[in-house]
Amino acid sequence: MWSRRNYLVATVGVAALSGCTGDTGNGTTEPDGEEEEGERPEGVSVEEFESGPVPDVYMSATSLGNEQRNPDELSSKSDVGFSEYEEALENDAHQPGTCCANCADYIVDKNGDTFGACVEVEGYIDGADWCVIYEELPEPEVPEGMSEAELATAEVPEEYRTASSQAGEERNPDELQSQEAVSLMESVDAIADGPAQPGQSCGNCAEFIPDENGDMWGACAKVEGYIAVEDWCTIWEHVSEEA
Ligand code: SF4
Ligand code: SF4
């Protein structure tokens, strides 16, 4: 599959990236697809975890792909072959590297319990889960007057330069790492090829600054250039860790 950032992978080498991070998504990889009691948020029953309702903050929230959740139009987890990533590897419909954290339907954690929700599926959803209606995030277009190669080092639009990330970290344009230094690539490729753990993407990273001007590009409080929600890099940090 062609990737707009394959040039970075080619430059750094995927093998050299392996082990660059000790992060593990949020550590919920039970092989049988069922969360053990200690892995559910405190006070949430098995039934609530599987079928909802989810906390109010998610009820009609917006997903990574900008779709709004309608609590009256959701599928059950069993109807969509919902599973954890390790189990999804056994499913013929699963494409390597795909998981909720890089699905257009995913709603990232908003209350610090590490779990998110989904605009299509009921219950609590971990970034490292997956289901058969997985939807690829739309690829942002290269902004007018810019080449694809320039995205990695371009100065971001004014509204992002000193913006706060989704976990509240302020961006300092004079203290950023290059995309090459942190091996920025697409999350699906990073998970499929090894350096990233299932459940990791810029979309659920503490440093991500979501799109503010409608061009589908965001920015990062730690890394220079244009950043897409489906990207990933070696300094990824779960948004809950800063909540
Ligand atoms: S993979 Fe399925 S459960 Fe996960 S976010 Fe996408 S649609 Fe929802
Ligand atoms: S994964 Fe890397 S590039 Fe993406 S938001 Fe986090 S720190 Fe920034």
pLDDT digit string, tens, across residues 177-218: 999 999 999 999 999 998 999 999 999 999 999 999 999 999
CA-nearest residue for atom 4, ligand 1, is 100
CA–centroid distance, 77 to ligand 2, in Å, is 29
- Which ligand is closest in space to the CA of residue 94? 1
Give the pLDDT of residue 38: 54
Q: What is the pLDDT of residue 30?
A: 43
Report how far residue 13's alpha carbon sits from residue 227's, in angstroms, rounded to the nearest whole number: 20
Task: Give the amino acid at 21.
Answer: T
Alpha helices in the chain (DSSP H): 6-12, 14-17, 46-51, 85-88, 158-161, 187-193
Which residue is closest in CA terms to ligand 1's atom 2?
131
CA of 164 to the centre of ligand 1 (A): 27
Ligand 1 proximity of 85 Cβ (cutoff 6 Å): no
Taking the CA of residue 104 as reference, the ligand 1 atom at the shortest distance is 6
Q: Which helix (H) or strand (E) holds 186?
A: strand 185-186
- Cβ-contact 151, 161 below 8 angstroms: no
CA 97 to chain centroid, in Å, comes to 11
Distance from the CA of 228 to the center of ligand 2, in angstroms? Answer: 9
- Closest-lying ligand 2 atom to the alpha carbon of residue 205: 6
Distance CA 108, CA 37 (A): 21
User: Residue 241 has what pLDDT?
Assistant: 80
Q: 241: helix, coil or strand? A: helix
CB-based contacts of 8, cutoff 8 Å, min separation 6: 152, 179, 180, 183, 184, 185
Q: Would you state the structure tokens that stand for residue 208, as one six-digit string?
A: 């991500």
- Give every residue of the chain whose pLDDT is below 50, as ranges: 1-4, 6-35, 243
Residue 173: what pLDDT? 97
Give the mutation target among 51, 99, 134, 137 for probing the ligand 1 site: most ligand atoms within 8 A of CB.
134
